Amino acid sequence: HHHHIAVLAGDGIGPEVMAEALKVLDAVSAKFGFTVSRKEAFVGGAGIDHCGKALPEETIRACEEADAVLFGSVGGPKWEHLPANEQPERGALLPLRKHFGLYANLRPGVCLPALTHASPIKNELIEGGFDILCVRELTGGLYFGQPRFREEEGDDEVVVDTMRYHKSEMVRIAKVAFEAARGRRKRVTSVDKANVLTNSLLWRETMTEVARDYPDVELLHMYVDNAAMQLVRNPRQFDVLVTENLFGDILSDEMAMICGSLGMLPSASLCQGAKDNGLFFGLYEPSGGSAPDIAGKGIANPIAQILSLSMLLRYSLGEKKAADAIDSAVRSVIDQGYRTGDLATGAAGEIRVNTAEMGNAVVAAL
């Protein structure tokens, strides 16, 4: 197989951790017999510096021509004086999502067995770690629905936002969740507020309908307030969580916090791919930011970027074996004790490494 990806390293630690992800890409493509041509392009502050804007036209074109986009991170103090809409994050990430209509936000919430100490949850509740995938609808609901307005003045002011979904938006996000669950532990927990919201009635009906096409996947329903409790009480009960935009915003952040190690968490924003083969076009990026405070020092944790590559291989290129191999290699280096500064605790058996050494360790473990 031959694939094309766009590589947008961006700012801060972006280029450093991207270099390690590309090392890993070289290794898995050689091992599993596929090729990936990469088009590198400027984005964020780097886009502003080289091309005058956070999302240059040629960067958009590179993304359009690719099967997927591997994104680093953008932003930093150098560009904070700019108007909000021209700044790296607002000026690059949001327009990219909008340009491609990326409606599915996937965030793994993984706590590896060797890192449960870093989670705020008591060890006995998460022994053996946990592995959740949160699938959040990203382009509908209360954050985008019309009408939204303020009317009247002073003490009589009234304010309105609208939670609006078209059934087709629910169907397509459901499919993403069920497809993902098929490659995992085959359980989807759909989160709604069906005891109160009209939206949730259609949501629940739609999830149940789509589930019929996935008889091998179990579907459970849970109210959003209960989900917020269950994530804390017993995160191991979840495989794939699927929910609408606002609920997903809240729950995915709660879930990430419960994992404990933000430097380990990738994310993906997907839309339907060009071919009807179960693959998605998508933008893959670490959950963390550009970390300008440690940029250029070569000490950042590259694992979130490496796991972003793994997601890209799985969901956009269909190279599942390569993705599984990367996930296993990451687990293995953590089990062996390799720790960048953000993960280190000083415990016996830890091997302190920098960015490149961690990347090399993952390659070696493949």
Residues with a catalytic annotation lie at 143, 193, 225, 249, 253
Q: How far apart are CA 61 and CA 129, in angstroms?
A: 41
Q: Does 345 bind a second copy (CB under 8 A)?
A: no
Structure tokens at 114: 């060797």
The option from Mg ion, a second copy, none interacting with 254 (CB < 5 to 8 A, set by class) reads: a second copy
Is residue 15 packed enough to be buried (19+ CB in 10 Å), middle (13-18) or exposed (0-12)?
Answer: middle
Task: Fill in the per-residue mask, 230 to 269: x = in contact with a second copy (CB under 8 A), - = not in contact.
Answer: --xx------------xx-xxxxxx-xxx-----------
* Closer of 90 and 184 to a second copy (Cβ): 90
Examine residue 113 and say whether the peptide bond preceding it is cis (omega within 30 degrees of 0).
no
Identify the residue among 58, 225, 293, 335 touching a second copy (CB under 8 A): 225
Question: Mask 247-276, x = binds Mg ion (CB under 5 A)?
Answer: --x---x-----------------------
Cβ atoms within 10 Å, residue 183: 15
Surface-to-core class of residue 276, CB atoms within 10 Å of its CB (0-12 exposed, 13-18 middle, 19+ buried): exposed
Q: Strand, helix or coil at 301?
A: coil
Report what 301 binds from a second copy, Mg ion, none; CB cut-off 5-8 Å by kind.
Answer: none
The nearer residue to a second copy, 166 or 297, going by C-beta atoms, is 166
CA end-to-end span of the chain: 20
Query: Taking CB within 5 to 8 Å according to partner kind, which of a second copy, Mg ion, none is near residue 347?
Result: none
At residue 256, what is the residue type?
A
Burial 108-132 (b: 16+ CB within 10 A, else e): bbbbbebbbebbebeeeebeebbbb
The contact pattern for Mg ion, residues 193-232, with x = CB under 5 A and - = no contact, is --------------------------------x-------
Cβ nearer to a second copy, comparing 18 with 112: 112
Which positions touch a second copy (CB under 8 A)? 119-123, 125, 142-143, 145, 148-150, 154-168, 171, 193, 196-199, 201-203, 224-226, 228-229, 232-233, 246-247, 249-254, 256-258
